[in-house]
Structure 1
Amino acid sequence: MSTPNFAEAIVLRTQQLSPHMVRLTFQSEFAADFVTGAPGAYLKVIAPAPGEAGPPAFDPASFKTRMRTYTLRHVRPAEHEFDIDFVVHGDNGIAGPWARQAAPGNRILISRPGTLKFGTEGADWHLFVADLSSIPAAAVELEALPSDAIGDAFFEIPSDEDRQPIRTPTGIRVHWIIKSDPHAPSEALIQAVQTLDWRSGEPSVFVAGEFALAGALRTYFRKQKPTRKDLTYVSSYWKLGLIEPEHKAFKAQAA
């Protein structure tokens, strides 16, 4: 099944990256047009119900309630392949529970990709802040930096076992912040960023994660540490207690 905006993607391989993240490798006709080395690409995923092989039926009247957004972690256009890293928290969510049980041959629906509005050109150093949901997006941007880049990356994870290898320039210091309670606020992560020794020069700033985290740091970078708008990306990817369509509506009202 395919439409002009959605196509099937079939699972080729699965890899457990950490207790709370699984990587699925897919093949799809859309992937032939993905751009290698273009950071920040993301797409929409419509997953079948957990336990179903898929693909899900496409219902024009209701597909948006099941649609979720994911980063393209790696792309291999020549092979029509790409990787997506899924956060899994047991039976919570739609795509996550499906991804946890997915097997080669299972199928989903994917959209054509969009791209984040984030730039690093002209920055003297770099600051990345991400919770578990946004580590894939931050990792793609980090891995695209030049080899002589310097800065700091703060990653919030549920446990030490959730650390994962990220290919960063040697001048990027990586800080892992443990927050075992997924429903607790990101106080330790926010404090770590706010007490960071600020480097001289102009930073690029990437912040993504839960709504309250993004809001607190957006205010901090606006009032305490003003940064260039063209070098600053601050976005909430989710909000406690809300599913993605509700979160998008909440963001629109709060804007």
Structure 2
Amino acid sequence: MHARVVTAAPLTPTLVRVVLGGGDLDHLEMPEATDTYINLAFPPEGAGYDGVFDPGEVRKTHPREQQPARRRYTVRSWDPASRQMTVDFVVHGDVGVAGRWASHAQPGDVLVFEGPGSGYLPDPAADWHLLVGDESALPAIAAALESMPSEARVIVRLVCDGPDHEIPLTAPDEADIGWLHRSGGPDDVDLLPDAVADLRFPVGRGQAFVHGEADEIRQVRRHLLSDRGLARSDMSCSPYWRRTMTDEAWRQIKRDYVAAMEADVS
């Protein structure tokens, strides 16, 4: 599938919002979820195939060095009337395939993808919700907050690089939203786990969405399951990236890392 860039504009120093339209979006079916994702395919420079391509066919017919780089991104929002999709990208200059593409995206540029898929939707039967993450999880967390009724009980903790990296969030009336700012030091890895450990949870059944940097998420997951007694079935948990590792290096070890994380507390 493919779509074309309608607009691309920065939201913060490290977050670029890309609005997509046209192409296959005219007949796209979106799942009912707030963590809906698409698998993007970025061809290498000089790839021997057209800008609109079938990733599966390219895998079968082209050598490894011409294979597109694959990245999974959350759909920030979907407008069924205009058939437009919004995707927010974390960018760090020209580091990383997807961020580099987003930072240079222009109207009319093609973006090839597969999906959508989904894995999380706030359960209206839960007594309260915990949403935890960083910039990479912000699109899914923002979408989840927007889907909740005004009376929902929700706690949010988000890590970012400073006040100018925060964005306005539409949330339930009594939402407890806290932003944590990195210092650039070694203690940054403990910001999110420490903040969650300090929380006083409401009574009743909680549902948690815990996504972001691998070592931070692993600590939070272990705490919620072992110390707080949350049910594994009430938690959506995924490490999106890992500090000090490139996207490609992380993709090589992610499967083993997740298996080890799951074995911490099953």
1:43-95 Cα offsets, whole Å, 9 max, x none, are 01123569xxx837653154766111111111123433100000011111011
Q: Is the 8 A contact 1:49 1:94 kept in 2?
A: no
Q: Give the SS at the match of 2:171.
A: coil
> Which residue of structure 2 lines up, in the alignment, with residue 133 of structure 1?
136
- How many residue pairs get aligned? The number is 247
Tell me the TM-score normalised to structure 2 length. 0.84
Cα deviations across residues 156-197 of structure 1 (Å, max 9, x unaligned)?
Answer: 111210111111111211101011439864212211110011
SS of equivalent to 2:136: helix
Query: How many Å separate the matches in 1 of 2:225 and 2:31?
Result: 34
Change (3 A) 1:199 1:44: same
Map 1:161-240 onto structure 2 (within 5 A).
161-181=164-184, 185-240=188-243
What's the secondary structure of 1:133's corresponding residue? coil
Aligned to 1:39: 34
Distance in 2 (CA, whole Å) between partners of 1:193 and 1:12 is 38
Tell me by how many angstroms 1:243 deviates.
3.9
For 2:175, what is the secondary structure of its paired residue? strand
What SS does the corresponding residue of 2:222 show, helix, strand or coil? helix
Alpha-carbon distance in 2 for matches of 1:235, 1:15:
27
Runs of 4+ with >6 A deviation: none
- Cα separation, 1, equivalents of 2:119 and 2:185: 26
The corresponding residue for 1:3 is none
Identity %: 27
Quick one: distance in 2 between partners of 1:228 and 1:121? 16
User: 2:4 is matched with which residue?
Assistant: 10
Question: TM-score, normalized by length of structure 1?
Answer: 0.87
**Alpha-carbon distance in structure 2 between the residues aligned to 1:236 and 1:177:** 18
Distance 1:65 1:211, change over 3 A: farther
Gaps of 5+ in 2: 260-266
Residue of structure 1 equivalent to 2:117? 114
Tell me the equivalent position of 1:21.
15
Instruction: Give distance in 2, aligned partners of 1:222 and 1:172.
Output: 23
Q: What amino acid maps onto 2:113 in structure 1?
A: I
Helix, strand or coil for the counterpart of 2:204? coil
For the residues of structure 2 that align with 1:122 and 1:228, how far apart are their CA atoms? 15
Does the 8 A contact of 1:208 with 1:235 survive in 2? Answer: yes
Whole-Å separation in 1 of the counterparts to 2:20 and 2:124: 32
Could you tell me whether the CA contact under 8 Å between 1:152 and 1:172 is conserved in 2? Answer: yes
Secondary structure, counterpart of 1:193 in structure 2 = helix
Deviation at 1:28, TM superposition (A): 3.8
